[in-house]
Amino acid sequence: MQVVKRNGKVVDFDISKIMLAIEKANKEVEDNEKLGMKGIQTVSNNVADSIVEDSIPVEEVQDRVENELIDAKAKALAKAYIKYRYKRALVRKTNTTDEHILSLIECENEEVKEENSNKNPTVVSVQRDYMAGEVSKDVTRRFLLDEDIAEAHDQGIIHFHDADYFAQHMHNCDLINLEDMLQNGTVISGTLIEKPHSFATACNITTQIIAQVASCQYGGQSFTLSHLAPFVDVSRKKIRSTVIEEMAIVGKEYTEEELERLVEFRVNEEITRGVQMIQYQIITLMTTNGQAPFVTVFMYLNELEPGRTRDDLAKIIEEMLKQRIQGVKNEAGVFITPAFPKIIYVLQENNIKPESEYYALTELAAKCTAKRMVPDYISEKVMKETKDGDCYTCMGCRSFLTPYKDAEGKSKYYGRFNQGVVTINLVDIALSSEGDYDTFWKIFDERLELCHRALMIRHNRLLGTTSDVAPILWQYGALSRLEKGESIDKLLFNGYSTISLGYAGLYECVKYMTSRSHTDEVAKPFALKVMQYMNDACDVWKKQHNVDFSVYGTPLESTTYKFAKLLKQRFGVVEGINDKGYITNSYHVHVTEQIDAFTKLGFESEFQRLSPGGAISYIEVPDMKSNIPAVMSVLDYIYENIMYAELNTKSDFCQVCEYDGEMEIVTHEDGKLGWKCPNCGNTDQRKMNVARRTCGYIGTQFWNQGRTAEIKDRVLHL
């Protein structure tokens, strides 16, 4: 068995440490109240015998020591032991960061090592970010959060997201107003960047903007290819002039048709170079937090009117899909699936039916999904029904802005952002209620108010922030064009930006309260009532503060494991509810539930509508590379029935034997889950490439034990 220390380090259980702690407390009591060595040994053995878990937090071990001392009638010693623990806690409270930071540097903190599946914790830039994050968490806990909110976070009752960045005046995620920055110019690191004179230059500037934005916020960012499309014609005109000059130099006569063919050939070459620049720059860029920018590329033909610019957009989309199908080379020179950029393709009337104008583009997208897990898909039809007639991209993996119109009554999305997230643990509410509905709603109200206060702390932390803290965001067009020294406050109200009430574990919550899955028609009304209850709370808060609170299906990664562990500590093991190393993300159907793809998507579409701040649905599918018609049938269903969905395929590679099939999840001798090549038996994760979508985006650096267990438990839906 193993013990999880406070700094996250996992060590083997050592009974001598229990005995040593009791002996220290023993010195503080009168001789006639001391416990003899035999008694100390008995208490220690009883504690050891009581531990059946594979791993246990050190605090739980200490709690059991206290109980055993009391059972042994050693009340004075128990009191001294409690006092000893309290003194140690005070020492830790004066400096809560040193041990965490040292464990990070030595790569001994298991929880942080597997916190982010796209961060390599052995790289110094990642360690630097984690070290700074530990300081921020410490400051946040001790000075910026109310004590009961900090305690609720520690207990897994709620989750206060991104505390490692909260001490700074930073926001979550955004939609870059790339059109403004490219058309009107911007400033990067004090250097004026004027309107580009070619498509390739526009692509280069875009990657610089992405890197700058990523370093000024902590969430995802998105931009649309529609903002790049006008620069194709800028290049076309420039190329045309160059070709005419070249022909004149060599005295070559040509027809207009020949000129056009040559010009378009060179235009296509530039599109290829520009798209390649975006792909490789994003993958190879390293931001200040030690990972590639978390960026999403939006591909939506109807953002542009019919004509040459839309046709140019189609060419850019086609090239992006072709290059993504190819993949990028790993260090062994083999093409693999990259994590970023995430790409989203919009399904619409003119590309979803075989007779439609851009159907071939959708077929290419389907081939890309089968090979590389992306793009994900937005239904223009369903989204317009859901979002007041608008269609637009999410910010990163799933965080959606709510509809907003400017002073002229025009819809506006690019240049807006999210202020942050606090997540409510629905499973904890259910278990705390012990199945009583009146108690459930009472506790729900208390927990929602806790989240409300925590969200207002996030909001108030941004109040008074001046544009100088991130000029690229607030002064030079990414989000706004504020004056130097001007406050960002006006962007925090009136629905311009959102702030998110996240939720997790709807399935387990409903299962405990009704003894049924929320897919059951008997239990579904309760599930929908829970969702509506959160939306109603957000409406009340919005009216109270003039801030756009929105319900958000949290993409738990490390937190799904944290919640599961803490639920076991608080309630013991409840079969079918918290007996796994994870809880279910947002409203999703449980990963083990047998349900077909179309039924799952149809069922979850109703819950997406009740997650206006963000949601995504997925289906698990086998290798689809030789069955593109089946992928197309799924896309047709998505277009008709659900706003935002993805197909989870597999994309792996063993560097030992060059096997490119699916890696297996196995249990190692130490009891931990790990990955294995079924072809050669390789279990060294450093010598394999595994890509899985876990939270709306692809992870490539492996996952914690809870998330790995969740991936292992997934059943196929198609």
Catalytic (active site) residue 546? no
Catalytic choice (383, 391, 397, 538):
397
Decide if 207 contacts 285 (C-beta within 8 A): yes
Pairwise CA distance, residues 201 & 609, whole Å: 40
Torsion of CA 216, 220, 226, 228, to 10 degrees: 40
Pairwise CA distance, residues 422 & 426, whole Å: 13
Catalytic choice (116, 235, 289, 399):
399
Catalytic (active site) residue 552? yes
Catalytic choice (81, 130, 218, 552):
552
Catalytic choice (133, 415, 505, 696):
696
C-alpha of 668 from chain center:
28
Cα-trace Rg, the chain: 28
DSSP output for 113-173: HTS-TT--TTSHHHHHHHHHHHHHHHHIIIIIS-HHHHHHHHHTSEEETTHHHHTSS----
Catalytic (active site) residue 418? yes
Catalytic (active site) residue 397? yes
Catalytic (active site) residue 696? yes
Residue with tokens 């004590």: 147
Catalytic choice (19, 131, 170, 173):
173
Pairwise CA distance, residues 619 & 129, whole Å: 34
Token code pair at residue 553:
């299906």
**Amino acid letter, 631:** V
Catalytic (active site) residue 557? yes
Token code pair at residue 335:
């093409």
Torsion of CA 27, 30, 35, 40, to 10 degrees: -20
Pairwise CA distance, residues 713 & 704, whole Å: 14
Catalytic choice (318, 508, 557, 710):
557
CA atoms within 13 A on the CB side of 449: 6
Catalytic choice (26, 117, 136, 172):
172
Pairwise CA distance, residues 601 & 586, whole Å: 14
DSSP output for 608-621: HTT-TTB--EEEE-
Q: Which residues sit opposite 387 in a β-bridge? A: none
**Amino acid letter, 578:** N
Question: How many C-beta neighbours within 10 Å does residue 275 have?
Answer: 26
Pairwise CA distance, residues 154 & 147, whole Å: 11
Give phi and psi for 458, each to the nearest 5. Answer: -60, -50
Catalytic choice (131, 170, 395, 513):
395
C-alpha of 292 from chain center:
14
In 3D, which of 554, 423, 421 has the Cα closest to residue 498? 421
Which pairs count as long-range contacts for 181-184, CB under 8 Å and 24+ apart, including other chains?
181/205, 181/209, 181/476, 181/477, 181/478, 182/206, 182/227, 182/228, 182/231, 183/230, 184/477
Length of the chain: 718
Token code pair at residue 475:
């002064």
Catalytic (active site) residue 359? no
Catalytic choice (418, 480, 500, 651):
418
Decide if 328 contacts 338 (C-beta within 8 A): yes
Pairwise CA distance, residues 290 & 60, whole Å: 34
Token code pair at residue 321:
């899909």
Token code pair at residue 662:
């699916």
Decide if 225 contacts 317 (C-beta within 8 A): yes
Token code pair at residue 261:
């063919």
Active site residues: 172-173, 395, 397, 399, 418, 552, 557, 696
